[in-house]
Structure 1
Amino acid sequence: MTTQDAGMTQSSVRSANLALVLGRIVANSGSISRADIAHQLGMTRSTVSRLVDDLVIGQLVEEGETVAGARGRPAVPLGLRGGTVISLGLEVNVERLVATVVDLRGEVRSVAQRDVDVVAMTPAEAMTALAALAEEALREEAGEDVRVSGAVLALPGLLDRDGRRVLRAPNLGWEGAEPPALWDFTFNGGRIDLHAANDIDCSALTVIREDPGGSFLYVTGEVGIGSAVALDGRLMTGRHGWAGELGHVCVDPDGALCGCGANGCLETVAGARFLLAAAGQPTMDALVEAAASGDPRTLAAIEHAARSLGIALGAALNLLDVSTVRLGGHLGVLEPWLSGPLGDELGVRVMWARHSGIEVETVSEAPLRSAKGAGLAAQSGVLTDPAGWIAPLVER
C-alpha cells in the first residue's frame, strides 16, 4: 500500500467515524456524552473525544453544562449547534408558497409565506415568487459566519430520482416542470442549488426527528391525502422514490374520478375537497363545528371517510407489519370523530390486530411540516459528510 493509499484510507475512516458520532448526537441531542457515544459505537473514549472536539471546532456541535453522574467523571452533554449551519426548506402547494430557514437542531428560525392560488401561476412565476420569499426568510441570517447547507423544495407529487423533474402532480398540475432549472439564488455571494422532493416525505422527516428509530405510517390530509412510511427511523422511499401513495389506493372501484385519472381513490373520499362537498360544508373549520354540534350529514361524511381510510390503512398495515399510524392535517383534526369507525375497520381488516394493538396518534402543525422537513432534507450532506463541512475551521 502506498503512502497516498494509506492516507486516503485513514481519511475515509475518520470521515465515516465523524458521521457516526454526529448521527448519535442528532438522535440524542442534549442528552448524550462522549462516554455514551464511545459505549454505543464501541470506540475508545479518546477516539470519540478527538472526533467530538473536531465537531465542536467545526461549529456543528456544542457542549452543554456539566452534569454530575453517580460514578466517575461528570458528564458533559453534547448537542447540535444552532444558527451556524442553516438550510432553506421550501414548499410549493396548491394554495401557498413557503420559505423557512432551519438550523441543525431542526428549529425553524424564520418563515416567509404567501397564500396564493398556485395552480393559476406558471411554474416560472411560482419559483420567482418563492425566491423572493427565500430572500426574505434569510434576511436576518446573513452573517458572514453563517453557512447554508442547501435548499430543498417540497412538492405535492412524484418526482424523478434526481429531484429535478415533476412526473405527476394531479392537484398542482406541474407535470414535466423542472423547478431547479427555474431557480437562481445566491446567499453571501454563493449560489444555492435546489433539489425537489415529495412534500409528504419531507413532512415525515420532521416526525422521524421527533421519534428517532421509530416505525410508523404517516398519513396527512390537506387538498389530497399524502402518506409516508418510516421503518426503524429511516424513510422508506422505494426503488424510484415513489413509495407511500396511500391516497391513491382504491377504496371503491365505482367511486368518484380522482385527479390522478383513476376512480375511487382514498383521496376522493377523505381528501379535503371531497369531504367538504360530502358534508355540505364550506371550510374545514365549519365542518369541525358541524361535527361537534352533531350534524347528521357531516357525521355521515366523516364516518364514510374513516371507513375508507380503514380499508386503505388495513391493506398497508398487513403489507408492512407496522403498528403505529400517525394522522396529520385535517385527518388529525378530525381524529375524535374518525377514531371509532377507523378503529373498527382496522380491527377487522388487519390480520394481526387481535394479537398486537394498533396505535393511532395525531401529529400537530402539519401545514408547516413539509417546509421544515425540506430544510432537514437539505442538511443531509452535512450529516453524511461532516468532515467536509468542518475542514475549513479545523484546519485553521
Structure 2
Amino acid sequence: MSSKPIAPDSGLQQLVDAGYEVEVRQQHLLVHRVPYVTADRQVKLGTMVCLYLQSGGSVLPPNTGGDTHQVWWAGEYPCFADGSPMSQLENEHTRQELFPGCTIDHRFSNKPFGVDAYPDHYQKVTHYANLIQAQARVLEPLATAQTGRLTIAEDGTSVFRYADTASARAEIMTTSARLAMGKVAIVGLGGTGSYVLDQLAKTPIHEIHLFDGDLYLQHNAFRSPGAATAEEIDAKQPKTQYFQVKYDAMHRGVKSHPYYLDASNISELQGFNFVFVCVDKGEARKLIFNYLLAQGIAFIDVGMNLQLVKPSMKLLGSCRVTIATPEKHDHLGQCVPMDDGDDDVLYRQNIQVADMNALNAQLAVMRWKQYCGFYQADFDTYNMLFSVNMTSLARQVTIAETQP
C-alpha cells in the first residue's frame, strides 16, 4: 500500500476514496481486481485499463487530448450471469502488449444513455466497473472492485522530465520501448550531431553521452535546432554543456563530455550500446571506427559534401548515412572518406545548410530506429546517399536481402 499524495487527478482521488485498487503507469490508469463472469459462469478478477494523459502538470479528462470513452480489459470476455457475452461492451478482441508489463485482451466501448463524454476518470471507470461487476454479484453477492487496496505506483524513474503522451496516444508504448538502450554516444555536436541529439532526446534511451571539444559560437546557432539567446552565445560555453542544459529540460540522461576523443581517451566509448559518429575529419573517423569495431559496438557515421557551383552560385551535393555492425562492416572503406582533405570546408564554414544537417540527422536516426526494431526494414540498408540537386535517395543493401 502506498500513501503517495494524489493531485491533480481527474477523478483519481475519488476512485481511491471509493476503495478501487488503482495504479498509474506509463500514462495509463489500471483498475485491478474487477470481478466479472466468464462464459462457464465462474467469477474471476480482471483489470480495466484506460489512458491517463498528463499535460502541463494536470491530468486531461477523458475524451480530450487523444483519449476516448473506451477502455481496455485484461482477462476473459465478461458475460452476464447466465454465461452469455455482454454484447453492449463489445468493440475489439485483440490480445496485445499495450506497454511493457501490461497485456490486454479486449477493448470495450460503452457510454450511459444521453452522455456524450465522461467528465473525469471516476465517472468513466465506475460506469464500466458497475456494468461488469453487477453480473458477478448475481452469482457472488459480495463481489466488488472496491477492495480498498491502494497501489498507486508511478515511481518517477522515467528518463523523461514529463511523460511521453505522444506514444501513449498512438498506442505504441511497447514499440517505443525497443529504443530504450542503456548508453548511446554522439561524437561531434556540429550541425548534424546536434539534430541527432534533438531526436534521440525524445526517445527512452537511458543515457545520451555528448563528445565534442568545440565551443558553442554564433555560427553554430544557425545550423542547430532551437534558438539560442544572445547571452548563451556570448557565454562561449562548450557545445556539450550548452546542449546538455537545453535537453536536460526534457531528458534526464544527457551527459556532457567537453573534449575531443583521441588515442588517450577513446576507451571512454567502451560499454556503449550504439554510437553516432558525426565528425568531419578522416583521421578521427579512423580512430573511432577501429575502436568500435574492435569492441563490437554498432554505429552510424554521417557526412555531407556540398559544393558551390559557378557561375550559378548554387549549392549542390549530398548527405550520407552509413551503418556498421559487428556482422556487417566491410563496406566502410568504399562508403566513408577516411582521409583528411578540403572536401568539407564549405560545409564547415557555410551557415546556410541547416536543412541538410537536419535531413542527414533524420535519416541517421530513422536507420537507427530500424536497427532497434521500431521501424520495419524491408531491406538491410547499410549506406544511404541523398543528392539535393537530384532530390533523390539512393541506398545500398546487402546482397542476401536482394535475392529472391
User: Could you say which structure has the higher helix fraction?
Assistant: 1
TM-score normalised to structure 1 length: 0.26
User: Could you say which structure has the higher strand fraction?
Assistant: 2
Higher RCO (C-alpha under 8 Å, 6+ residues apart): 1
